[in-house]
Amino acid sequence: MIEPATETELAEALRAAAGPLRIRGGGTREIGKPVAGEVLSTRALSGIELYDPGALTIVVGAGTPLEEMEAALAAENQRLAFEPLDYRGVLGSAGAPTIGGVVATNASGPRRIQAGACRDSLIGVRFVDGSGAVVKNGGRVMKNVTGYDLVKLMCGSWGTLGVLSQVAFKVLPAPPDRAVLLIEGLSDEAAVAAMAQALASPYEVSGAAHLPRGVDGDPVTMLRLEGFEASTRYRAGALRALLGLGGDIERDLQKTAAGWRYIRDLEGAPAGGDLWRISVKPSDGPGIAARAGADWLEYDWGGGLIWAVVEAGVDLRARLGNFAGHATLIRAAQATRERLAVFQPEPAPVAAISAGLRARFDPRGILNPGIMG
């Protein structure tokens, strides 16, 4: 295993590479096509390099454990707005998630509907491309960049365009209070309609999820509001009145945090079967879910994100047929990941652009080759 401790060592390792490299952060997101090649780990590229709470910015090495970064932010009552999810439980993986892995996969949790995705909080990157050249884009302050927006391009590129060495984020204050409206017994269709109404309301909903089978076996719809106590208390009551569906308002901070961690990290997903991530227009969600024939479902992002566990080896895209959206295979046996396209196949024009970008940034084709095939 190659484990560079500095950006210079990383660049030297990439220039000296004689064959394919399997890029690894914390080793917690083994998703995508199996990649053959020597492991290149970014774990040693770790540490908080600059944190300015007053400017709401933080710069860290790509190998920095996410928990370390979040602890530093929490000490200043700040947070990453996009609520990155932790795949360890649902994938059965070990290790510590790194912030570079979060960026490489654009891992974004329930708050994405309000605060945007990981790429929307990312303001700067440093990385080494497949030729061994060090590239920098963006900066340490919140401003627009000129030229190619490599910050957005690297986020979600799965290590195919370069190996991240440093990332910079804008952060936000952590709100002091939280309330969650819990509505039980709704059908998938009614839940999606309620979440749409809630998100369109003026009450600043920061989380909207639905479990067709909750912890107690019954359907539950969860709507989260965050802010100052007087505000969350008023908004939660007003939202319940607006929807006219009743429900309980949970205000205990520990219980509500655990409930959204349950949603974010897919803690209710069964261990067996294949896990798929389906992104659709929310109003299409219930119909898509019905066609999936899943053993377990979770709706997030107001119904626009569906997590589904189906029997092992099933080609879910073939089962769903044509639909407006995309389906990604998140958890499956290696044989299934070798047989099926893990990511939604791209339309020909988009595929051509993607191939051109990979050829530009990784001319030798050594960075996670085939992972997105």
The pTM score is 0.92
Pairing of strands 21-24, 163-170: unpaired
- Short-list 321, 313, 362, 305, CA closest to 113: 305
Question: Per-residue DSSP letters for 347-359?
Answer: PHHHHHHHHHHHH
* 319 close to 327: Cβ distance less than 8 angstroms: no
Supply the CATH classification number for the domain 274-339.
3.30.70
Say yes or no: do domains 7-173 and 177-264 share a fold. no
Does the domain made of 177-264 have the CATH classification 3.30.70.2190? yes
pLDDT tens string for the chain (373 positions)? 899 999 999 999 999 999 999 998 877 667 777 788 899 999 999 999 999 999 999 999 999 999 999 999 999 999 999 999 998 999 888 888 999 999 999 999 999 999 999 999 999 999 999 999 999 887 654 444 445 588 999 999 999 999 999 999 999 999 999 999 999 999 999 999 999 999 999 999 999 999 999 999 999 999 999 999 999 999 999 999 999 999 999 999 999 999 999 999 999 999 999 999 999 999 999 999 999 999 999 999 999 999 999 999 999 999 999 999 999 999 999 899 989 999 999 899 999 999 999 999 999 999 999 888 6
Q: Are the C-beta atoms of residues 158 and 126 closer than 8 Å to each other?
A: no
CB–CB of 118/107 below 8 Å? yes
The domain defined by 7-173 folds into 3.30.465
The ranges assigned to domains in the chain are: 7-173, 177-264, 274-339
